[in-house]
Structure 1
Amino acid sequence: MKIDDIAKLANVSKSAVSLALNGKPGVSPETRDKILRIAQDTGYVQRSQVHAQQVYRTNRFLRLVALTNSGIVLDEFEKQPFFTELIRHIEDQCSGNGYSLLFSSIQADQLAEEVQRLSTDAEASGLILLGTNLAREQVALVSEQIEHLVVLDTCHPAVAADFVVMNNEMGGCQAARHLLELGHRRIGYVQSKSRMHNFDARRRGFDAALEEFGLALAPEHIFTIAPTVVSSQKEFVQGWASLREGLPTALFCECDYMAISVIKSAHELGIRVPDELSVIGFDDIAEAEVITPELTTIHVEKETIAALAVERLLRLTEQEGPSPRLKTLVDTSLVVRKSTKALQ
């Protein structure tokens, strides 16, 4: 009996089998139990398996759940750089506190059913919910049934739950001010086709900074593209080509993926970044330093967000009695690289 055989019997990938047999996070409890049961029934034995089962029975766990939807948080969202980095930091924080992290995702249309199941979860001490773009009603549903809960990447002030979220409005303002301080006045805005609370807050901060200078976005200087594509996008190319005069000298993009896509689109159009067009992104993902030119962007304190979330969740699980709910806002910062330049 080999790992390939177990994967076929369990109808999962080989990597899922490896994670389960080695006691690592990344598979659901149901899948892990199924894999271990098949391995036991078929007589599969490996040295690490015994250790993994022992660890799995005795270790302490926190659970991270992401709610997938049809917008930004897709089925394979954990492959997107921002979420990849955030999840890694959460794992590191859990490990540093003597906990393992159980990670899973659920579909938005299965929320009620899955939350009911999670409310009876005896394995994990608490739950971190990656709540990107969740509605108030959705977060309320979870908070009513999960006692120890911290929600990331969205915040609803009227919901009695703990939240940790980046200061999106500040970031949008920082991006606009940077371009304005470089002398740019015809500044364009590249927005996502898929709308989310974070993007809307970034737009509010951006508009507020322009207003301080007596400026406002020109409708023709607003471009709409896909948020998870890093290649040249025809929507941007066509939109830019349709402008006859008064071209923007700088662009703010709602996330780094979009900024990278814009830089590649600009290259296709024969536009030199930053000599002819300054571009700034948001998130400061690792790829921001790989693209040419290196991307000026808004840095999100992903490690700080992870640390605050885990620290707060552990405190909730360890204390007795009710606790005041906290809404934690983590400020952003400007990272200046080579994709922006003073207007000549």
Structure 2
Amino acid sequence: MKMEDIARLAGVSKSAVSIAFSGKPGIGPETRERILKIAKDHGYMPKPRTHAAEAGSRTLTFLVFANSGIVLEQYYQQPFFRELIHYIEERCKFRGFSLLFSTIEMNKLGEQIRSIADEKRSDGVILLGTNLDRAQIAEIADLLPLPLVVLDNCYDTLPVHFVEINNMIGAYQAGSHLCRSGHTRIGYIASDVRIHNFEERRNGFAYALREHGVELAEDCTFTVAPTILSSQESLKRQLGEHLEAGKPLPSAFFCECDYIAISAIKTLTEMGYRIPEDVSVVGFDNISEASIVTPELTTVHTEKEQMAHLAVDLLVQSIASEDTVNTKVKVDTQLVERRSTRIVGDPLQ
């Protein structure tokens, strides 16, 4: 049997079969599982690539729970994760490691974690923790007999290595920027999917407003889907109801991520508002799309390259050392001012 035969039986392309065997992202977990099952049932053994088959080769696994919260099945196409993966791959090569990708389902957590351990293909695991809660991370750490670093999340009471964004300071920077720009009625557009990062951002933003004597009114808080770049009817409806109740529209909005901010800009524009003349908008993450949307988005820049380097380096150090002391790293952010915000009363903007 050849790869072409596997592809025909699975109803996919030959390249999809190659992706399934290599462990790289590019296909969904169900498709990958179907391809591997067909290969196993027909006794097909993929030929190992030379660099992976060399004696003494070292490999790290990038582990993701997709279709859970904000992490979609095609997570590698989401701008934030796409950039993060790029930097992780670069750092792995620099440190002399190859990188495998493994996507597993939450309802098969135990079975698939044990499978990763039994295959003995990996020296350590970087777990994308964005969409995982404390109990889930604790269970994974307990089941996984390999060095582990959790990326893009942190729970202080778990004895696990973590590398995360300093979400508090990032949202604090955004809130301070809007207050210093003269905004006193500020709205908040939250994700309708709640994760650790978003809760930290809300806390940091509220802290900045309190420090400047500005109150975040509950009637100025709206919720939307966090992974849609187009305008959203749900936001349009919420804003419409707000206005119909005789309440003024906030002069500025902070959005929990750039996806939400870009969606908000498009929604507000469709409603006849000018950005930033009528409403200022600030995002979070500084994805590549933030600099090409019209107007360019003021946002909080997250150091994705530094996060990736720290995660890989910490895992490599953990593999090489018998030290059992765990490390928790927060990476600070920077505000990037672009054209989606303005100073209140400034006629030049």
Same fold by TM (over 0.5)? yes
Q: Is the 8 A contact 1:6 1:38 kept in 2?
A: no
**CA–CA separation in structure 2 for the residues paired with 1:125 and 1:108:** 23
Q: Quote the residue 1:79 is aligned against.
A: 77
CA RMSD of aligned residues (A): 2.6
Question: Could you tell me how far apart the structure 2 residues matched to 1:304 and 1:167 are?
Answer: 12
Select 2:282's aligned residue among 272, 280, 300: 280
TM-score (norm 2): 0.88
Q: Equivalents in 2 of 1:181, 1:20: separation in Å?
A: 51
Counterpart CA distance in 2 for 1:238 and 1:333 is 33
Could you tell me how far apart the structure 2 residues matched to 1:282 and 1:176 are?
A: 11
Matched residue, 1:131: 129
SS at 2:285's partner residue? coil
* Matched residue, 1:308: 310
- Cross-structure match for 1:334: 335
Equivalent residues of 1:166, 1:330 under 8 A apart: yes
Contact 1:225 1:258 in 2 (8 A): yes
Deviations 1:67-123 (A, max 9, x none): 124421122222211111111111111112121110021111211222222233311
In the alignment, what sits opposite 2:162?
163
The 5-angstrom pairing of residues 45-56 of structure 1 reads 53-56=49-52
Deviation per residue, 1:2-39 (Å, 9 max, x gap)? 86544123454433234468x68348998897788899
The change in CA–CA distance for 1:40 and 1:139 in structure 2 (over 3 A counts) is closer
The one-letter code matched in structure 1 to 2:149 is V
**Are 1:184 and 1:250, in contact at CA under 8 Å, matched by a contact in 2?**
yes
Which runs of 5 or more structure 2 residues have no equivalent in the other structure? none
Relative to structure 1, is the Cα distance of residues 113 and 158 closer, same or farther in structure 2, using a 3 angstrom cutoff?
same
Letter in 2 for 1:139: I
| Cα distance between partner residues in 1 of 2:25 and 2:41 | 18
> Would you say the 8 A contact 1:151–1:161 is kept in 2?
yes
Name the SS for the 2:118 alignment partner: coil
Question: How far apart are the structure 2 equivalents of 1:330 and 1:14?
Answer: 41
Structure 1 position 146, deviation (Å): 2.9
Tell me, yes or no, if the aligned pair for 2:258 and 2:285 is still in contact at 8 Å.
yes
Deviations for 1:51-75, whole angstroms, at most 9, x for unmatched residues? x632221242100001124421122
Counterpart Cα distance in 2 of 1:9 and 1:120: 27
Aligned counterpart for 2:88 among listed residues 70, 87, 90 = 90
Any conservation in 1 of the 2:176–2:212 contact (CA below 8 Å)? no
User: Per-residue deviation at 1:41?
Assistant: 6.0
Would the alpha carbon gap of residues 116 and 18 (structure 1) be closer, same or farther in structure 2, given more than 3 Å must change? Answer: closer
* Aligned ranges 1:129-208 → 2 under 5 Å: 129-144=127-142, 145-208=144-207
Task: Tell me the amino acid that sits aligned with residue 117 of structure 1.
Answer: S
C-alpha distance in 1 between matches for 2:110 and 2:40: 28
Alignment deviations for residues 154-178 of structure 1 (CA, whole Å, 9 cap, x no partner) = 1111111100000111111111001
- Counterpart-to-counterpart distance in 2, 1:4 and 1:176: 55
- Which runs of 5 or more structure 1 residues have no equivalent in the other structure? 43-48
AA in 2 matched with 1:277:
V
More off after superposition, 210-219 vs 326-335 = 210-219
Q: Kindly report which structure 2 residues correspond to 1:19-58, keeping only aligned pairs within 5 A, or say none.
A: 19=19, 25-26=24-25, 53-58=49-54
Deviation string for 1:195-237 (max 9, x for gaps)?
A: 1111010000000111112222112211111111111111221
Residue aligning to 1:14: 14
Aligned partners of 1:241 and 1:329: how far apart in 2? 39
C-alpha distance in structure 1 between counterparts of 2:292 and 2:38, whole Å: 39
Which stretch shifts more, 152-161 or 32-41?
Answer: 32-41
By how many angstroms is 1:239 displaced? Answer: 1.9
Q: Which moved more, 1:183-192 or 1:66-75?
A: 66-75
Is the Cα contact below 8 Å between 2:149 and 2:163 reproduced in 1?
A: yes
| Whole-Å separation in 1 of the counterparts to 2:128 and 2:238 | 34
Given residue 337 of structure 2, which amino acid in structure 1 is its aligned partner? V
Partner AA of 1:8 in structure 2: R
**Contact between 1:20 and 1:36, CA under 8 Å: does it hold in 2?**
no
- Residue 322 of structure 1 aligns with an amino acid whose one-letter code is D
Q: 2:38 and 2:59 mapped to 1: Cα distance?
A: 19
- What corresponds to 2:323 in structure 1? 322
In structure 2, what is the Cα distance between the partners aligned to 1:236 and 1:10?
41
Identity of aligned residues (%): 45
**Distance change >3 Å, CA 341–CA 14, structure 1 → 2:** farther
- Cα–Cα, structure 1 residues 55 and 278, in superposed 2: closer, same or farther, change >3 Å? same
**Inter-CA distance 213–294: structure 2 relative to 1 (3 Å threshold):** same
The aligned amino acid for 1:232 is S
For 2:83 and 2:42, the matched residues in 1 are separated by 32
Cα gap change, 1:216 to 1:36, in 2 (>3 Å)? same
